[in-house]
Structure 1
Amino acid sequence: MEHQHAWTARWIRPDAGSAPATERMQHRTLYRKTFDVADPAASELLAEVTADSKYRLYVNGTFVLRGPCKGDNWRHYYDTVDLTPYLREGRNAIAVEVVHYPSLLTGGGSDGGPLSEWRADAGGLWLQGALKDKHGSAAETLDTDGTWKLLPCDAVQIGQETKTLFVGGTEDVRGDRIPAGWREAGFDDSAWGVCARPLEPLDRFWGQLMPWQLTPRPIPPLRESEQEFPRLMRAEGIAAAEKSPAGALFPLTVLPGETVALELDAGRLTTGYVQLAVHGGQGGQIDLLYAEAYEYAQPELHGGVRKAVRDDMAGKTLVGNDDRFFPAGWGSAGGPETYEPMGRRAFRFVRVVIRAGNGPLTVARLGWRATGFPLEELGAVRSSDPLTDDMWRISLNTLRGCM
């Protein structure tokens, strides 16, 4: 149930005329709010935030958090976050990317989104917070309302996903349809729209239940840490030593019309978000295929066995779903264009295919943001048998990735 709270922010979303024509598809919206800070050292900004269905929040171009955690028809969770460390003197900006999954009843096909994510028939963003001075007085209210700028974004097309139907499809992302620098404070959002009819978080007149019963997050945020791939398994199109550290490859420039393929090993089965930073590359394409193991292409020729030792490449290939990114080409060495999928991926290996268009395409960085439950190891198992130690380590990795 919606708990007792002083609700001042409103839900905002694109008006019906600017939203996609069908609620059977996922759609994304970019939101911005700018404000001025005279003295960051004497300021404080605490915020409560949620969205339907998923969001990523940035302050002055820096990623802060993603959410919310999964709820149901009676609980829509919100996060509480301290944005004070991200403030700077002068103009500041809160930028939020929101994806809404279509109704579980009407949404169809691969574009329907994860089945485990509850959502209402229409999505939106809700953020409540105020910039306060050192005395605790509100200098400016930043609640979502009709002053926030928003832009429906058609850069992402969801690919077909037929293996489980529980995680939603992968992404085809066209960088030229994402406004360059939209997360930054200095971005010009004067051409963006606003929400003409913000929605109250509760029905103050009739008292009926609203689509989102706002409830504080009951579990800690998932841990996140940036990681580099420790091992290159295989390379095509360039001379590189197999089983060598993958980080030494970057920055990697692929010349016009050429293709390079890399197979990278994370060292263990993990969950997270692969991160790309590129510059140049207009007309190019980067494919990211996620796999648990090397598999036989024809298992019937091997007694029905698809996979054995996970990193045994002999006679095997990587099999899995893939995201595809098409760079806009505006990135530079000092300010690269970046890509990170909205949905969390599970993998040990990633096959990366980089195709340059009419100009060179440089991959400045390729790593991943590892995530999972912040499990605290209160005890341990130690044994003279190395297998027991390995099983304990594997068990911890499984819990951290699957809880």
Structure 2
Amino acid sequence: MSDNSNTPASSAFEAATYAKVTWRLLPMLFLCYVASYLDRVNVGFAKLQMLNDLKFSETVYGLGAGIFFIGYFIFEIPSNMILHRVGARLWIARIMITWGIVSGAMIFVDSPATFYVMRFLLGVAEAGFFPGVILYLTYWYPAHRRGKMTALFMTGVPISGVIGGPLSGWIMKAMPGVHGLAGWQWMFILEAIPSLLLGMVVIFYLQDRIRGAAWLSEAEKQLLESQIQAESSQKAEASLGQMFANPRVWLMALIYFCFVMGLYGVSFWLPTIIKATGVTDTFNIGLLTAIPYASAAVAMILIGHSADRRRERRWHVAIPALLGSIGLILSTVYDHNTLLAMSALTLATIGIITVLPLFWSLPTAFLGGAAAAAGIALINSLGNLAGFVSPYLVGWLKDQTQSTNSGMFVLAASLVLGALLTLSVPKHLVNK
């Protein structure tokens, strides 16, 4: 870099360096998240055939869908602590390969007991992936850049819906009876393959830290490291015991619990809600599920960019949560009109999914070092217990009332509570 306009201190050099990092890391992390989320929630499509084939009730389905998060909860913190010690490259690869194997093995489910066991093991296998990536981003990006980066990474959630909905619907329509397997069994087999392949690629592609990135120049490494070190000096480097005793960490876990209630209400029940409006063809259901998710992908990026540009977090979290709540309520009002119900579900999905990446800019603004590794994992694991409560509760209420409406009201109330709790967080703590 010979000319002064291109010195490491210049904004042009800084922008170019972060663009280089983003193009190197984000596409791979994004693909991994698409694969992981697809394997986590494709049971929502399998439900359209599996319940009839195996004679499961809605409650059995809801419990099986949710029990994933018990295994996830138990192993989340240990997994993230191991990642912090051994590095993201090997640990993320291990997670992806094991969850691909378990997800493919879902074809052997033949009773409620085997359904529960396989979903629990899938949670164990995947534990640590999401908080591990959130932690990994803190090694590369300072707080004022992470909102947008986390949003880009988490577009994997809606994009998995855009891709997975039509794909799952097509597999389940086209593959029944091939080699004696049901359509839902083929779906589990075929959709596990990307996780296995990506897990192998991660071993050779990712670097654990800035210093080990051979694709960065020395000047670029120094720039990145100086920004991370400057931010780390302002964060709480707490012990694990202090982190567990930190009321802010528990508040974050409660806020995240409220938002995850809404997320998995949509993720596990969206195909069922669309079918209830009168759409019966599985491929058409899959195509329709892509609409809310595609809209949410665009909204995530735009709102994440707005939050970073304004360096404002709380309202950028609270407003989408409230919109998600309104969308869920409207979906019950128009539950027999496909067009109006889809409009309401699109609003709900935009609000619910947009809130998630912006939420993670809150705890990562004040946690650092080992406290960040454990704190992020604790918040994620406790929050994801809502992934157990939400589908089980909606399934139980559907069995009791023969409708998903009462479940949607509960999820809407949870989103409102999450928004109010977010606004209770001190502004100076998170607007960085």
Superposed pair shares fold, TM > 0.5 = no
Query: Which structure has more strand as a fraction of its residues?
Result: 1
User: Shorter-chain TM-score category?
Assistant: under 0.3
- Relative contact order, CA 8 A, sep 6+: which one is greater? 2
Higher-Rg structure is 1
Query: Which structure has more helix as a fraction of its residues?
Result: 2
Tell me the TM-score normalised to structure 2 length.
Answer: 0.23
Tell me the TM-score normalised to structure 1 length.
Answer: 0.24
